Chain A
């Protein structure tokens, strides 16, 4: 049997998309920040000292040739801690998004393509998660599981997946009526095959855009949880925990709390800019 084309409505060529992306200043800025961040996380540790090493005689020292971003209240090198924090935050963001997208996509696909009672049940379940402030729920989950970084990832993922379920369900509902899906069904494709070959690939665009925004959101939420003590625990060089630890010394050593905060801002900014750019390029309807 000849396989049906899986391409959706878009006939715009990939090279035109790339051109459009490259002409967009904020897209390029986002991409540059993103690449720098990856480089920092991967190669950065080569240019650092032990982020946990304390040197109390050198505490709260301003930036210098030896300590590029100064030292904190325990005499630890802030630059080394910020650099090691990059890998931590990227890992948190990536795992949260991967977990929640996986759960959300499965729930949304099932609801949108099976319809009926299954759809109703799954979406009402999703609605419950939409119904209360995510940070409070994440905090309850993180507190219950015990405060550490892995549980923070689970807690944030547990409150992030419903968006994907709604997105994918809406896509699946719309795609179900399209000719190429009808044709596949008429040719005798089984439901699972239709889901996998036709509905899933065509639902991925909005998922990708959402995932980029959620990377930033997840990093912010996880940093907030760590800040109030439900995430990474000292002495882990996690950015939110670092701000929390150094906040009482802000008047004598602002670099110790401002540096990790700036790192958070730049990282979240990078993913938000990328999300905007991806939406502009991939999803013509959402463009402003």
Chain B
């Protein structure tokens, strides 16, 4: 009876917490629209000139402004934008003349695919290296991991991309060059936008392997900084946990070394590491801008770069909105996961 009562209280607590957090997400998204709109209004540059070129005639510019609502006062433009946004309409790109939402739908899957692959690389490299370093504190493996982590955190993403492409593609020929597929490969019909999944759905294993192969270098480049951070975090968390009394107790009771590491230490060390994962994914989105530029990856990073340089503010706002939404959602998920793993944390 008492347990059931407490459980329902817990569910109510969690529900209230979720509602509050969702409100916050809405607030953040509104803030993002306001901030980007404000920026687009104070700019000295003229989007009409950027889209039509410096030699555009007066009447062309006037027509462009009227067509895109740029001739109205700022507050009217904002009201129109928000009204459309509430109906799921992100406006029209000044550059591609297509609805921004269509552009995002086309380019976002490539970014998710790349970011997830990079996240996987970061976990695969960062966590084991961090554990190995902690178990060998101040011995050569630890020193090597720490040096690599320092270098990984200091190397510009764009340079690592150029370097790996030069060495592993141009010189050694071990990996394919930029792009998602071999130029001669048959592009599968678009279903999910994830090249690896679409090729499988098209029953084309050869192209599937090709797409996976093309993912490796950009994923390593994008994931390297995160791997470095994760290795440092994991090392620190493991060292902290390994010095605790319950680890000594477990050892004293005769538990094997691997049992101590896996059952007692790893679980508790995962907690602080988990907190950085959310920020890590957000960081991947930032890094994707540079990685996609170098690897000619058709994602939103490259889309937002070209859009920003042609002052295509509906497109830039679309991307920032999407990024803000993704970021807020990931952080919410991480917080919930955190509270699920650590029962000491209450929702609130």
A-to-B contact residues, CB < 8 Å: 26, 124-125, 127-128, 131-137, 139-146, 216, 220, 223-224, 227-230, 240, 243-244, 247, 250-251, 254, 257-258, 261, 264-266, 268-269, 272-273, 288
Contacts and interface: CB of A to CB of B under 8 A. Distances in A.
A250 B324 CA distance: 36
B323 A272 contact: no
A227 B320 contact: no
Contacts of A135: 286-287, 289-290
B112 to A, nearest CB: 14
Interface string B22-39: 001001100110011001
B33 to A, nearest CB: 10
Contacts of A140: 36, 39, 304, 308, 316, 320
A124 B27 CA distance: 9
B43 A227 contact: no
Nearest to B328: A131
A257 to B, nearest CB: 7
Given A140-B36, A216-B154, A230-B309, A133 B162 contact: no
A272 B43 contact: no
Given A224-B156, A224-B158, A131 B32 contact: yes
A236 B236 CA distance: 41
B157 A136 contact: no
A182 B157 CA distance: 48
Interface in B163-217: 163, 166, 170
B311 interface: yes
Contacts of A261: 155-156, 159, 163
Interface in B248-289: 282-283, 285-287, 289
Contacts of A216: 154
A24 B48 CA distance: 57
A234 B46 CA distance: 22
Contact of A144 (B158, B287, B311, B324): B311
B31 A131 contact: yes
Contact of A131 (B28, B155, B290): B28
Contact of A227 (B35, B290, B304, B308): B290
Given A254-B166, A257-B162, 7 more contacts: A132-B320, A133-B285, A141-B39, A224-B289, A227-B156, A244-B158, A251-B170
B333 interface: no
B31 A128 contact: yes
Contacts of B159: 243, 257, 261, 264-265
A4 B234 CA distance: 43
B141 interface: no
Q: Which of B151, B159, B282, B304 has the most CB of A within 10 A?
A: B159
B39 A133 contact: no
Interface string B317-344: 0011001100110000000000000000
A145 B43 contact: yes
A278 to B, nearest CB: 15
Nearest to B232: A288
A129 to B, nearest CB: 8
Interface of B: 24, 27-28, 31-32, 35-36, 39-40, 42-45, 150-151, 153-159, 162-163, 166, 170, 235-236, 239-240, 282-283, 285-287, 289-290, 293, 304-305, 308-309, 311, 313, 316, 319-320, 323-324, 327-328
Given A128-B32, A133-B286, A143-B311, A243 B43 contact: no
Nearest to A251: B170
B154 A230 contact: no
A12 B240 CA distance: 24
B160 to A, nearest CB: 9
Contact of A127 (B28, B42, B43, B156): B28
Give the top 7 A-B pairs by smallest Cβ distance, nearest first.
Answer: A128-B31, A135-B286, A143-B308, A268-B154, A133-B286, A144-B43, A261-B159
Contacts of B289: 133, 135-136, 139, 224, 228
A240 B157 CA distance: 11
B27 A144 contact: no
A139 B305 contact: yes
A206 B31 CA distance: 28
A266 B155 CA distance: 9
A124 B28 CA distance: 9
Contact of B44 (A146, A230, A240): A146
A68 B340 CA distance: 58
B239 to A, nearest CB: 6
B140 to A, nearest CB: 15
A69 B42 CA distance: 43
Contact of B309 (A229, A257, A264): A229
Contacts of B293: 227-228
B24 A127 contact: yes
Nearest to A229: B309
Given A132-B320, A133-B327, A264 B156 contact: yes
A216 B155 CA distance: 10
Q: Which of A127, A135, A223, A244 has the most CB of B within 10 A?
A: A135
Contacts of A220: 154, 156
27 contacts: A124-B27, A127-B24, A127-B28, A128-B28, A131-B327, A131-B328, A132-B282, A137-B320, A140-B308, A143-B308, A144-B43, A145-B43, A223-B158, A227-B290, A230-B308, A240-B156, A247-B162, A250-B162, A250-B166, A254-B166, A257-B159, A258-B163, A265-B155, A265-B156, A268-B154, A269-B154, A272-B154
A141 B287 CA distance: 17
